[in-house]
Amino acid sequence: MLEIAIKGSKNYWLWIVFLLAVMGAGAVVYLDQFTNGLMITGMSRDVSWGFYIANFTFLVGVAAGGVMVVIPYYLHDYEKFHRITILGEFLAVASLIMCLLFIIVDLGQPTRALNVLLYPTPHSMLFYDMIVLNGYLFLNIVVGWKVLEAERNQVEPAWWTKPLVYLSIPFAIGIHTVTAYLYCGLPGRGFWLTAILAPRFLASAFAAGPAFLIILCYIIRKFTKFDPGWEAMQTLSKIVCYAIITNLFFFLCEIFVSYYSNIPAHKAHVQYLLFGYHGYTALVPWMWTSLTLMTTGAILLLIPKLRNNHTLLPITCAMIVFGAWIDKGLGMISGGFVPSPLHHVTEYSPTGPEVMIALGVYATGFFVLTILYKLATQVKEEVRG
Amino acid sequence: MMEKSRRSFLKVAGIAAIGLGASPAINFASSDSRGTAHAVKSKNKEALHARRWGMVIDTGKITDEIAKSVSKACHKAHNVPDFNIKVDEKKYPHTRPVNHKQEVKWIWEEHFDNAFPDKEDEFLAEKFHGLPFLVTCNHCKHAPCVRACPTQATFKREDGIVMMDYHRCIGCRFCMAACPFGSRSFNFRDPRPFIKKISPNYPTRTKGVVEKCDFCAERLAKGKLPHCVGASKGAIVVGDLEDPKSEIRGLLNEHYTIRRKQSLGTEPSVYYIM
């Protein structure tokens, strides 16, 4: 099936070359980081996780979001999702590859990464994160590939793909729950120390993941002969609508508890993000942009006439993806570290090299995504033709 | 086929038998470097032991000067890099400029409000305002860093000391997020250009690993007290918290002491006499 990927239009190859170039640039900068250490990043003693871990967290969400097409199709026999289920699964694969790469580039000693397997440590949440992330990646590759292959050969998929699909559902919830547990089980980090962190992560995941999928559907419609189906996209947009409202609601709950309880250890971080803390305001404009984007996105999806507008929908979805990315990518991680446990304020912003490495990881993810989507759309065109 | 597999079985069995016979000798030979049963018996007789090591800092006795010499003694002995020194350009050419936010420190001074942020008080006794409070790893009884570490590179010894294995650490910095006391530092870069004079009694670290105070475990093993105790002019006392007759327990009985962020339940082993 992979041979499909080496036959493509000029645009396809241009895009592939572009991605390879960004990957190459990222790799060159990474070599510098590999040789000289994480000193090239904006991270510090006080803000010891930054852009890499933030993007990792966001992409775990995008990966988990894939389950929002799997559940309706496989559990409720929602036929409209038949054509896009594979897109959700392959999006999860690409996102998970990016997640794992972000973890690797964040390590101070990447060559020792396998120590996590050599000395398995069940009391560390990272141990479980490794299991669920790799498990979910494996499930999606196997299921996605096998089902697509069966479609190409016009036979029923092997019987054993079904139990794997059912297994992938708790895994999807699992990846984002365990990722939240990385943060919310730490004493002394008041911003993350909240039982609603995992639900909030899931809500934003189920908004950002499907919203991104809708955008991808538009791109597929433009560049291939395969039509994912307008009705499927509309259903997806309703899912995004519910999820983004839930996400905003959870955030409101968080704000209420922080401010009404007035406990400094919890309030200080929210204060820093929304209004600034002791004159430090680097993230304030970002956070308000994020809230505005997510709220506007929710309103635009709530009103049927606007939701069903062909031209508006991709813009709404882009607003939600970007809003969720700021919320999780910039605010969630930095916000937890500022102020520090000793109530010092050390602000963080990624450096140029750090952003370049992150772009390299994204390019790798999009490279994988492009090839997988090329396979999926081509096979579906073939079958139809 | 049959013959061949039988022969190879015998061969393997033979090698295994030799291995078994040799193992006590190998254990003996390695007894001072590996944690075998022999090694336990041949421990240094002068080594200092405790069921749970603890530290008491008499804040009244700590002056700015003492605090500085404590940090200096500790950092010098443990090859902690100092980003303020001028790098030897001949030995380390092309060293890039430092980012002071990426510094490494094991024991250092803080103001009361920073050492005890949950005890912030606008009417705090004035005498506390300017006082230096020495902060370091608390060697918590329920250490969140130990819980978080995915490779057991950070681990707890039986005597309560929270230790780091610099050769196992993958540099994920989960422990730094987990520590509620900001006691851990990450080597964002190779620390060696910033060590004025390398102390041969302690390893230098490589880039990409986390480090922190190790309660001078290497000195306790030789029967010596931690560097900070020596440099503190009597302000810092270490001893066995579990031993009711120890000096440190005597101090805890006589004085009112506090610990940092007690409400988090990590049970710090460092006490402050107020």
Pair A180, A69 in one domain: yes
- The residue in chain B having the minimum alpha-carbon distance to the alpha carbon of residue A108 is B208
In a domain, A63, yes or no: yes
Report if residue B48 sits inside a domain. Answer: no
Give domain status of residue B47, yes or no. Answer: no
Please tell me whether residues B15 and B58 are part of one structural domain.
Answer: no
Q: A194 lies in a domain?
A: no
Q: Out of A186, A340, A343, name the one closest to residue B113 (CB).
A: A343
Confidence of residue B16 (pLDDT cuts 50, 70, 90): low
Answer yes or no: are the C-beta atoms of A215 and A321 closer than 8 Å: yes
| Contact across the interface for B103 and A127, Cβ inside 8 Å | no
Does residue B199 belong to any structural domain of this protein?
Answer: yes
Flag whether A196 is in a domain. no
- Whether residue B59 sits in one domain with residue B163: yes
Q: A342 to chain B: nearest residue by CA?
A: B114
Q: Are A49 and A337 in contact (CB under 8 A)?
A: yes
Residue B62 has pLDDT above 70, yes or no: yes
Does any domain span residue A199? no
pLDDT at B126: 82
Of the pLDDT bands very low, low, confident and very high (cuts 50, 70, 90), residue B10 is: low
Is the pLDDT assigned to residue B31 strictly greater than 60? no
Which residues of chain B neighbour A41 with C-beta distances below 8 Å?
Answer: 188
Enclosing domain of residue A42: 1-188+348-385
Judged against a pLDDT cut of 60, whether residue B14 lies above it is answered with no
Please indicate, yes or no, if residue A385 is contained in any of the structural domains.
yes
Same domain, B117 and B236: yes
CB contact under 8 A, A124 and B150: yes
Same domain flag for A355 and A309: no
Question: pLDDT band for position B6 (50/70/90)?
Answer: low
Query: Using a CB-CB distance cutoff of 8 angstroms, which residues of chain B are in contact with residue A48?
Result: 173, 176-177, 186
What pLDDT is recorded for position B65? 95
Separation of alpha carbons B157 and B159, rounded Å? 5
d(CA B138, CA B142): 10
Q: Is residue B28 part of a domain?
A: yes
Contacts of A264 in chain B (CB under 8 A): 117-118, 120
C-alpha closest to that of A99 among A213, A198, A176: A176
Residue of A nearest to B184 (CA): A45
Whether residue B180 lies within 8 A of chain A, CB to CB, comes out as: yes
* Residue A375 and residue A1 in contact, taking contact as beta carbons nearer than 8 Å: yes
| Domain assignment present for A311 | yes
The DSSP code for A79 is G
Which of A152-161, A265-274, B32-41, B192-201 comes out lowest in average pLDDT?
A: B32-41
Q: Are residues A288 and A353 both part of a single domain?
A: no
- Give the separation between CA A119 and CA B151, rounded to whole angstroms: 5
B46 assigned to some structural domain: no
Residue B50 has pLDDT above 90, yes or no: yes
Are residues A155 and A65 located together in one domain of the fold? yes
Residue A167 and residue A24 share a domain: yes
Q: Are residues A10 and A55 in the same domain?
A: yes
The residue of chain B nearest to residue A116, with distances taken between CA atoms, is B151
C-alpha distance from A365 to closest chain B C-alpha (Å): 22
- Could you report the per-residue pLDDT of B165-190, keeping only the tens digit for each? 999 999 999 999 999 999 999 999 99
Burial profile A21-37: b = 16 or more Cβ within 10 angstroms, e = fewer? ebbeebeebbeebeeeb
Helix axes A197-223, A312-325, angle to 10 degrees: 140
Q: Within 10 A of A70 (CB to CB), how many other CB atoms are there? A: 21
**Mean of pLDDT over chain B:** 88
Q: Pick from A106, A102, A82, A95: which is nearest to A136 by CA?
A: A95
Six-digit token string for A228: 């994912």
Query: Cβ contacts (< 8 Å) between B120 and chain A: which residues?
Result: 264, 343
B168 contacts in A (CB within 8 Å)? 112, 115, 119
Question: Which chain B residues are Cβ-neighbours of A263 within 8 angstroms?
Answer: none
The reply to whether A262 and A379 lie within a common domain is no
Please say if the pLDDT value at position B19 is more than 60.
no
- CATH number (domain holding residue B211): 3.30.70.20
Side-chain half-sphere exposure of A123, counting CA atoms within 13 A: 13
Are B207 and A41 a contacting pair at CB < 8 A? no
Residue A29 lies in a domain: yes
Residue A353: is the preceding peptide bond cis (ω within 30°)? Answer: no
Angle between helix axes A51-65 and A161-184 (nearest 10 degrees) is 150
The predicted structure's pLDDT at residue B85: 93
Cα–Cα distances (Å) from A205 to A39, A43, A334, in that order, read 31, 26, 19
- What lies within 8 Å, CB to CB, of A93 at 6+ separation is A137, A140, A141, A144, A368, A369, A372
Instruction: Select the residue from A102, A114, A134, A186 to test the B interface by mutation, using most B Cβ atoms within 10 A.
Output: A186
Q: Give a yes or no: residue B202 inside a domain.
A: yes
Confidence of residue B33 (pLDDT cuts 50, 70, 90): very low
Contact A115 B170 (CB under 8 A): yes
pLDDT value for B201: 92
CA distance B100 to chain A (A): 8
- Does residue A168 sit in the same domain as residue A300? no
- Asked if residue A213 belongs to a domain, the reply is no
pLDDT for A383 equals: 84
Residues of B in contact with A103 (CB under 8 A): 172
Considering the domain architecture, whether residues B27 and B115 belong to the same structural domain is answered as no
Quote the domain boundaries for residue B107.
Answer: 53-273
Same domain, A326 and A363: no
B259–A contact, CB cutoff 8 A: no
Are residues A296 and A158 located together in one domain of the fold? no
In terms of domains, do B121 and B220 share one?
A: yes
| pLDDT for position A329 | 84
Query: Domain check: are B152 and B222 in the same one?
Result: yes
Residues A138, A272: one domain?
no
* Mean pLDDT, residues B233-251: 96
The verdict on residue B175 lying in a domain is yes
ipTM over 0.85: yes
Check whether B21 has a pLDDT greater than 80.
no
Number of domains in chain B: 2
Q: Cα distance from B10 to chain A (closest Cα, Å)?
A: 31
Which of helix, strand or coil describes residue B137?
Answer: coil
B154 and B34 within one domain: no
The answer to whether residues B58 and B84 belong to one domain is yes
Residues B113 and B27 in one domain: no
Domain check: are B30 and B160 in the same one? no
What's the DSSP call for residue A110? G
State the pLDDT at residue B13. 57
The residue of chain A with its CA nearest to that of B100 is A44
A106 and B172 in contact by Cβ < 8 A? yes
Percent of chain B with pLDDT over 70: 84
Is the predicted pLDDT of residue B217 greater than 70, yes or no?
yes
Q: Say whether pLDDT at B219 is over 80.
A: yes
Q: What percent of chain A clears pLDDT 70, i.e. is strictly above it?
A: 100
- B2 φψ region: left (φ > 0), alpha (ψ -120 to 50), beta (else): alpha
pLDDT at A7: 85
- Residue B171 with chain A: CB contacts under 8 Å: 38, 107-109, 112
Going by pLDDT thresholds of 50, 70 and 90, the confidence category of residue B1 is: very low
pLDDT tens, position by position, A167-226: 999 999 999 999 999 999 999 899 999 999 999 999 999 999 999 999 999 999 999 888
pLDDT of amino acid B8: 62
- Claim to verify: residue B37 and residue B57 sit in the same structural domain: no
Tens digits of pLDDT across chain A (385 residues): 788 888 888 999 999 999 999 999 999 999 999 999 999 999 999 999 999 999 999 999 999 998 999 999 999 999 999 889 999 999 999 999 999 999 999 999 999 999 999 999 999 999 999 999 999 999 999 999 999 999 999 999 999 999 999 999 999 999 999 999 999 999 989 999 999 999 999 999 999 999 999 999 999 999 988 889 999 999 999 999 999 999 999 999 999 999 999 999 899 999 999 999 999 999 999 999 999 999 999 999 999 999 999 999 999 999 999 999 999 988 999 899 999 999 999 999 999 999 999 999 999 999 999 999 999 999 988 887 6
Q: How many domains does chain A have?
A: 2
What tokens were used for B269? Answer: 């082993």
Answer yes or no: do A248 and A380 share one domain: no
Q: What is the mean pLDDT of residues B222-236?
A: 95
Check whether residue B221 and residue B142 sit in a common domain. yes
Residues of B with Cβ-Cβ distance to A121 under 8 angstroms: 149-152
Residue B6 within a domain: yes
Q: Which residues partner with B211 through β-bridges? A: B185
Return the DSSP state at A130: H
